[in-house]
């Protein structure tokens, strides 16, 4: 562990381990397996990188996305480490050179996709080397119930069989109890030390809203909270991704689409721009994001409802990896609920899988319709029980107004029943509000007792009521009936008046002046801001010269500390978090010169 602490300070430039890092590293140094659940930005990579450097041999990192390996390796090389990757983007000459370096013991860390690792050739090649450890990153991909399932992950138990004396570590930021059990079973980690950190990301503000015009609401959010910041906008379909990216670009933002239907070259180009340029917004399907290391993503927005809380947590977790304030914003609609219900019901998956998927969607809808603290509910899903409300989610900051919706719900459910459970939301609302419509007259539904009994609410209010009835499982969607509404067993006691139902009022637009703005740079004095920007400009120049993301040079948090501490020599600079020996040698003089030459530096020394 003494060696590990020296590497932490000298190579990575950090002074102390966080969370369970020290215990995890000790377990691997002792030759034990480990399973690690740690939130995004919590420092998972150090848990395998440091023991790989201390132990003899090369650390083998199984990473699920080829596109991310280059940036991970670039960041390690900036630290002076011998890191490489093997994947299909390389030509045969580069692959042979990397394999030879592996055989010659010249590598500290090798990143590889599970598909390549599992080939007989690669396993035989590894058998001729000395693996220090195997790190299975994004281990939740092993779960067939999860949102990122990769069947190859379920075959990684071969590592225990082929390399019984080599410690393995499985890491993920997202796993409920079922997924944890599956990781342990599939990877044969029954004897592993298990480390579970808090899933809480207190720097992220969660906000979920329902209603019409989600795109316009998204723009108001971006314009007010993040006019110049990098962010991710998730959409359900490729078509919507293209449309929203073009729309944001038309508004003057640098917005790039990303989805699996795009050419691979263009996807790589857009990802590289997002990682290496400031203020870029990526509009994407869930094909984008796993393992993204960009620390200064200031917001993650959803324009469609995620299928599960795991997916929501994983995707929102890409915001604020640097620990600075960030936003997780989502807009969803009744149509999202109907579409996802239909997709799941119409799926040809096995019944057990459909039941689990249906349950996950119900839980996600429950989070959306909450009137209490969202963070408490989110953490409760992962087995944590916070004692108090967080004070940093929309329901804490602006508690929703509820009302007794029992009578309105009974009218809606009765209308669905009396129209034969054969019609969708809009038709039922038309009957409730007494709309003069030929279709209603032809069906003789203008003679029903429920015709025009809901005139006290307008169509938007009824849509809000219907959405909540569907979300709370009083109504279901007929997968064979083009969105027809069906009563569930849960509706019976409500119709009979045996229970009461509290509903949320439709959210009202709040004036901007009443919203508490999230600052993009925290704890930075006004007098330090110009120097911080000058340091960022110099960092960007260096990053472009070397073809790496700016954060591979230094994170914003490191530059922020430089701007406040203003070190004037290398000894003082070495005390800044994130400045290791290699970076001090390569970049120390460059950044000290920026600090010395900045007009405010001399003044600050006399304060």
pLDDT in tens, 248-268: 999 999 999 999 899 988 988
Q: 297 with 276: CB under 8 angstroms?
A: no
Q: Is 403 helix (H, G, I), strand (E, B) or coil?
A: strand
Question: Is the model's pLDDT at 105 over the cut of 50?
Answer: yes
Question: Is the model's pLDDT at 42 over the cut of 70?
Answer: yes
Residue with tokens 């007792």: 449
pLDDT band at 100; cut points 50, 70, 90: very high
In this prediction, residue 539 carries a pLDDT of 94
Residue spans of alpha helices (H) in 30-138: 44-54, 66-78, 92-103, 114-117, 120-127
In this prediction, residue 517 carries a pLDDT of 44
d(C-alpha 332, C-alpha 337), whole Å = 8
Q: What is the mean pLDDT of residues 17-38?
A: 94
Question: Is the model's pLDDT at 516 over the cut of 70?
Answer: no
Question: Is the model's pLDDT at 513 over the cut of 70?
Answer: no
pLDDT band at 509; cut points 50, 70, 90: very low
Alpha carbon of residue 279 to chain centroid: 18
Express each pLDDT in 408-417 by its tens digit. 999 999 999 9
In this prediction, residue 602 carries a pLDDT of 57
Q: What does pLDDT average to over the chain?
A: 89
Question: Is the model's pLDDT at 347 over the cut of 80?
Answer: no
Q: What is the mean pLDDT of residues 44-62?
A: 96
Residue with tokens 């044969």: 188
Q: What is the mean pLDDT of residues 5-20?
A: 92
Q: What is the mean pLDDT of residues 171-179?
A: 85
In this prediction, residue 291 carries a pLDDT of 56
Please report, rounded to a whole number, the percentage of residues in the chain having pLDDT higher than 70. Answer: 94
Q: 12 with 52: CB under 8 angstroms?
A: no
Level-2 CATH architecture, domain 204-392: 3-Layer(aba) Sandwich (3.40)
Level-2 CATH architecture, domain 529-604: Orthogonal Bundle (1.10)
d(C-alpha 84, C-alpha 70), whole Å = 8
Question: Is the model's pLDDT at 216 over the cut of 90?
Answer: yes
Question: Is the model's pLDDT at 26 over the cut of 90?
Answer: yes
pTM for the model stands at 0.82
Express each pLDDT in 119-166 by its tens digit. 999 999 999 999 999 999 989 889 876 667 788 999 999 999 999 999
DSSP 509: P
pLDDT band at 289; cut points 50, 70, 90: low
For residue 187, what are its two tokens?
A: 């990877």
d(C-alpha 108, C-alpha 57), whole Å = 7
Element (H, E) at 531: helix 529-546
d(C-alpha 118, C-alpha 86), whole Å = 13
Q: 154 with 306: CB under 8 angstroms?
A: no
Express each pLDDT in 85-96 by its tens digit. 998 888 999 999
For residue 75, what are its two tokens?
A: 């960041």
Beta pairing partners, 402: 504
pLDDT band at 343; cut points 50, 70, 90: confident
d(C-alpha 338, C-alpha 334), whole Å = 6
The residue extents of the domains of the chain are 2-196, 204-392, 402-506, 529-604
In this prediction, residue 518 carries a pLDDT of 43
Express each pLDDT in 470-506 by its tens digit. 888 899 888 665 778 999 999 999 999 999 999 988 7
Q: Is 100 helix (H, G, I), strand (E, B) or coil?
A: helix
DSSP 302: E
- Fold: same for 2-196 and 204-392: yes
Level-2 CATH architecture, domain 402-506: Orthogonal Bundle (1.10)
Q: What is the mean pLDDT of residues 357-373?
A: 86
Q: What is the mean pLDDT of residues 560-586?
A: 94
Question: Is the model's pLDDT at 605 over the cut of 60?
Answer: no
The separation between the first and the last C-alpha atoms of the chain, rounded to the nearest angstrom, is: 42
pLDDT band at 510; cut points 50, 70, 90: very low
Q: Is 282 helix (H, G, I), strand (E, B) or coil?
A: strand
Do strands 299-302 and 326-332 pair parallel, antiparallel, or not at all (unpaired)? parallel
Burial of 515 per CB tally in 10 Å (0-12, 13-18, 19+) = middle
Range with lowest mean pLDDT among 92-106, 191-205, 213-227, 361-375:
361-375
pLDDT band at 467; cut points 50, 70, 90: confident
Q: 433 with 454: CB under 8 angstroms?
A: yes
Q: 134 with 62: CB under 8 angstroms?
A: yes
Q: Is 110 helix (H, G, I), strand (E, B) or coil?
A: strand
d(C-alpha 195, C-alpha 24), whole Å = 7
In this prediction, residue 520 carries a pLDDT of 41
Question: Is the model's pLDDT at 62 over the cut of 60?
Answer: yes
**DSSP per residue, 223-250:** HHH-SS--EEEE-SSHHHHHHHHHHHHH
In this prediction, residue 507 carries a pLDDT of 63
d(C-alpha 333, C-alpha 218), whole Å = 13
Within 8 A by CB and 6+ apart from 102, the residues are 58, 84, 110, 125, 129
Domain 2-196 part of CATH 3.30.300.30: no
Number of Cβ within a 10 Å radius of residue 263: 8
- CA-based nearest residue to 485, from 500, 502, 469, 496: 469
């Amino acid at each position: 562990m003494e060696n590990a602490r020296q590497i932490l300070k000298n190579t990575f430039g950090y002074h102390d381990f966080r969370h369970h890092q020290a215990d995890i590293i000790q377990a691997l140094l002792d030759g034990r397996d480990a399973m690690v659940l740690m939130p995004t930005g919590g420092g998972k990579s150090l848990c395998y990188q440091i023991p790989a450097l201390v132990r003899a041999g090369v650390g083998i990192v199984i990473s699920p996305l080829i596109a991310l390996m280059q940036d991970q390796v670039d960041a390690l090389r900036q630290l002076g480490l011998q890191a490489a990757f093997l994947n299909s983007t390389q030509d045969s000459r580069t692959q042979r050179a990397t394999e030879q370096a592996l055989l010659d013991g010249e590598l500290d860390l090798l990143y590889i996709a599970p598909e390549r690792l599992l080939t007989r050739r690669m396993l035989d090649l590894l058998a001729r080397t000395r693996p220090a450890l195997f790190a299975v990153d994004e281990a939740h991909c092993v779960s067939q119930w999860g949102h990122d399932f990769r069947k190859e992950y379920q075959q990684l138990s071969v590592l225990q069989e082929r390399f019984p004396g080599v410690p393995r570590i499985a890491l993920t930021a997202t796993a409920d109890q079922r997924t944890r059990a599956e990781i342990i079973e599939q990877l044969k980690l029954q004897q592993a030390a298990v480390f579970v950190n808090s899933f809480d990301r207190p720097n992220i503000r969660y906000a979920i809203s329902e209603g019409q015009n989600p795109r316009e609401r998204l723009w108001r959010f971006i314009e007010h909270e993040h006019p110049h910041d990098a962010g991710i906008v998730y959409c359900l379909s490729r078509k919507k991704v293209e449309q929203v990216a073009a729309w944001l670009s038309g508004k003057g933002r640098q917005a790039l689409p990303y989805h699996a239907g795009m050419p691979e070259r263009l996807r790589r180009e857009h990802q590289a721009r997002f990682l290496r340029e400031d203020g870029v917004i990526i509009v994407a399907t869930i094909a984008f994001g796993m393992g993204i290391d960009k620390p200064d993503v200031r917001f993650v927005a959803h324009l469609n409802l995620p299928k599960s809380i795991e997916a929501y947590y994983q995707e929102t977790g890409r915001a604020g990896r640097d620990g600075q304030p960030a936003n997780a914003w989502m807009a969803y609609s009744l149509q999202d609920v109907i579409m996802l219900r239909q997709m799941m019901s119409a799926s040809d998956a096995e019944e057990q899988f459909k039941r689990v998927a249906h349950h996950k969607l119900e839980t996600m809808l429950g989070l959306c319709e909450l009137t209490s603290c969202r963070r408490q509910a989110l953490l409760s899903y992962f087995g944590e029980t916070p004692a108090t409300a967080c004070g940093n989610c929309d329901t804490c900051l602006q508690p929703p107004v509820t009302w007794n919706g029992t009578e309105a719900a009974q009218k809606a459910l009765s209308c669905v029943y009396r129209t034969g459970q054969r019609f969708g939301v809009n038709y039922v609302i038309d009957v409730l509000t007494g709309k003069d419509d030929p279709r209603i007259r032809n069906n003789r539904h203008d003679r029903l007792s429920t015709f025009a009994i809901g005139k006290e609410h307008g169509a938007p209010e009824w849509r809000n009521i219907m959405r909540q009835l569907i979300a709370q499982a009083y109504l279901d969607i007929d997968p064979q009936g083009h969105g027809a509404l069906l009563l569930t067993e849960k509706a019976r006691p409500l119709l009979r008046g045996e229970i009461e139902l509290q509903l949320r009022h439709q959210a009202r637009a709040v004036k901007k002046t009443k919203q508490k703005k999230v600052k993009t740079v925290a704890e930075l004095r006004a007098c330090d801001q110009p120097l911080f920007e000058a340091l960022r400009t110099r960092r960007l120049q260096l990053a472009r010269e070397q073809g790496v993301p700016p954060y591979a040079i230094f994170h914003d948090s490191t530059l922020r500390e430089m701007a406040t501490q203003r070190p004037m020599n290398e000894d003082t600079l070495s005390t800044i978090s994130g400045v290791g020996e290699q970076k001090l040698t390569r970049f120390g003089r460059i950044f000290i010169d920026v600090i010395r030459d900045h007009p405010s530096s001399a003044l600050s020394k006399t304060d």
